[in-house]
Structure 1
Amino acid sequence: MALPKEPRQKMINLMYLVLMAMLALNVSAEILNAFKTVNESITNSNNAITQKNNLVYQQFEKQLSIDPERVRPIKEKADQVKILCEQMNLYIDSLKKVIIRESGGLNDSGEIKDMSNLDAPSRVMENQGQGPILEKKIETLRQQLLSMYDNPVEREEVAQILPLKIEMPKKTIDNKKTWTQVNFEMVPTIAAITILSKIQNDVKNSEAQVIDDLFKKIGQQEFVFDTYKPLISANAGYVIAGQKYEAQIMLGAYSSTINPTITVNGQPIPVQNGVGTFSTVASGVGLHTYNVAISLKDQSGQIKTYTATAEYMVGAPAVSVSADKMNVLYIGVDNPISVAVAGVPAEKVSATISGPGSLIKSGPGKYIARVSAVGTVTVNVSAEFDGQVRPMGSMEFRTKRIPDPVAEVAGSKGGTLSAAVFKVQKGVAAVLENFDFDAKFVVTSFTIGFDGAGFSDYIEASSNSAYFTEEIERYIQRCRPGTRVFIDNIHARGPDGTTRLLPPISFKLN
């Protein structure tokens, strides 16, 4: 069953084709922004398809638990499709990162710095040979997906509509251009990223089509029921003391229009439409078992009884609170924190912070902690059980200032430095070493002195920013091998708003 194209997906495809045509005429800011918009739309579409595909894979798991022998061969094919498509998407993601890095990387907002860069895509895809590799991978993946169809006729029909394919416009064939040249030669970086996102869209749509067809084959096979077996479906196999345990019990391969008699540990339970519901309030830490008996009349009128044993584990509340970066919280930056309570769904868990700080939820079981003073804070965790919120525990964290950065010029913290390299530098940088957070310090002032070759006396100048002033630039132009440079009184302001005095650095030019 092919994945239906919704109007949104059709619009994305149309915009993609129009923009590719306009790209040949002009690369304006409007076109670059349009490519950015299309790329975001394709990315959103890819996420939606991924969610849909994940639901199908979950259904494979469910069907496997019902009839392992019949479903397993089909599910193994679906698992192979998932692995192949994930590998392709990871490879394309790596190409995106390389192209973005070659074009200058991302800015502080996480956006591409130079969307109009024409050299990076050509360099990566043509000069470095990644384009032909990608083309080969697409062809290989297409054949691997088609191999999932055992029937040659069905395989040929799918081949005609499978989105993932290598297509060449007729005019490019006449001009003898390669697929790589058609798609990536002298195109802006944002256009190359959009093209790669479109290929990922084809991969995900093709994945959806193949796994949908495979799942449909499960329903095409005939079910043969030749045994009776009690089936027990519980809301949880592990519950916390005070939490409600509930299980649904039914007789497999039996009509839901006839109610059997079901007992648990000898006590009858309510039965409706062939399904009995057993519930009890969990108590006592440890493993608990219960015996189920299902009785009904067979076709001859005789009562037959089928038995089974089920178990569940009761555990004491266990709270897990961890800082995703390290075992401290730092002032002035976002500190990711993960919160969990064993046996409780993430959406039923909540957390607050006590002390100088705040806690903002960023996802299921995920929070961002921001603290404002050195000392300690406490993260308190609660969980909801049957509509009631109960405290589960807490954990204390130390709060610290961000470590002092070090001053650098040309990526060096001192020592010998080429005079030619030094002359093209624009200022002094403050760099955090061995720190897991993306925290930035900005140099606000410094003093620089010159001595030795090119200077008859020691000369000193100051700057009230991270950059060399015009006066300092004039002194730098006098530098040559043998000049000694001293930089001290270096002040830098961090994300926590405080200003630090950094250790001095010095260089001997060669």
Structure 2
Amino acid sequence: MASGKLSPRQKMINLMYLIFIAMIAMQMSKEVLSAFGYMNEKLTDNNITTTAKNSATLDNLATKASEQPEKYASLYETAKKVDGLSKTFSDYLESKKALFLEGQEDLKNYEAMDKNDFINEHFFNGDKYTPEGQEFLDNVNNYRTSIVSLIGEKNPLAANINKRFDTSDQDTEDGKQPWLKNRYEGFPLISTVTNLTSMQMDIKTTQSEIFGTLLGGQLESDVSMSNYRTILIPEKSAFFQGENFKGKIVLGRYDSSLKPEQVVVNGNEIKTIEDGGAVLNFPAGAVGEREIKGKFVFMENGKPVEIPISSTYAVIPKPNSAVISADKMNVVYRGVPNPMTISIPGVPDNLVSASGAGLSKAGGTGKYIMTPSTGNEVKISVTGKLPDGTSVSSSQSFRIKDIPSPNGTIRKQFGYVKMPSSSLENSTVGAELPDFDFDLKLNTTGFTIKVPGQGAVVVRGDRMDSSAQKAIAKAKRGDVIIIFDIKSSLIGNSSYKIKDASAVSIEIQ
């Protein structure tokens, strides 16, 4: 700070000046750490909002696929694959965040999240990557290539997705640097967590863009004139003997500007036209399938153009019982929402009521959710009001079963597995229900591992801790290690107690 001989007073002043500069630097560093934390909070909130939006869009596609499978079934299948890939990758990133934040007493104290040792050791081994580092890089690359492969390289979104999840070497002042080192080596904990949350936001954005493109492309096709068709829209799906048929015949979509010159149905000219549709009102006829034939006549370039009408409707006798079916099977399972369809043929959904312990109305016509609790059986009662004002009621009982015991897994394999001890030390212990009708996700909360000649080690979580790794390291080739007492919880319903998973045997190679 100065040369030459200094007085004790000047030396003290200089020392205080250095301390002051250091304190400013520390304060700035703390402010930056807090800024990362606040940014992470905002990104997390945005992720929640976008997830809800994507879920609603996917539900909308599912509804459209069930209503118009020719148009939307293939789009829905693509959307489900995108959703599955995105959820798997986002859950993987969430598990990394949980691992990195483990041991942090206060998750809001961002100023204390300035260390980088754990992340450096987790991802890097000198100039090379650890298995976890390579796994992280592979997950990013696999998501990018899988999504682009799914939508096609020629899709306008492909370029943005490739750029959004680009892991190529990065340009720096010192030349090229590997992407993983450039983004994660030497950075404080909170910046890494924020980086992972930002990547989750990129996943949600990618989903939203693809869902929007799928729907937008089909809607653009829908408004094309080449897609106009005659469509019969009855007032209800079936009619009772003796009733009049009520409904409309429209061209493709409702359009009040469509004014036909003439509409003929079953030999009779229809005079009443509403919103581009011919309003029908005639005796439904006898029980069975009835035909509606005729034509729409429009004037085009001064000449009449005929569009044929050809459709059918069903006339059914009055029902005396309800139709109740479990969408999955003839039983309902405790701990999961069981989708059910409840209806009475010929009776509108708004005139049908159903009740039972654990039964609640879901979105969609005739859709319910059964969430059974105690007992071995549940009874569902259904009542409906017929068009003539009379009521019809029925009931049915369903057996209640518990979720079966899952299979314990190691690296997604169950039963008897062979692998080196080094691989076992870094493997994940899981629990799966391979033959269960519901797609349930289980989270491993703990297990016990027994190495021949060593005492049993109880582990919390789904990965080997240091004690387990030390025991595994003493195993010899040919030794059979057993993992048992595998405990798990049901994601989405942690209150339900899942039975212990079956044991896994590992022969050391």
Q: Using structure 1 for the length normalisation, give the TM-score.
A: 0.49
Q: Using structure 2 for the length normalisation, give the TM-score.
A: 0.50
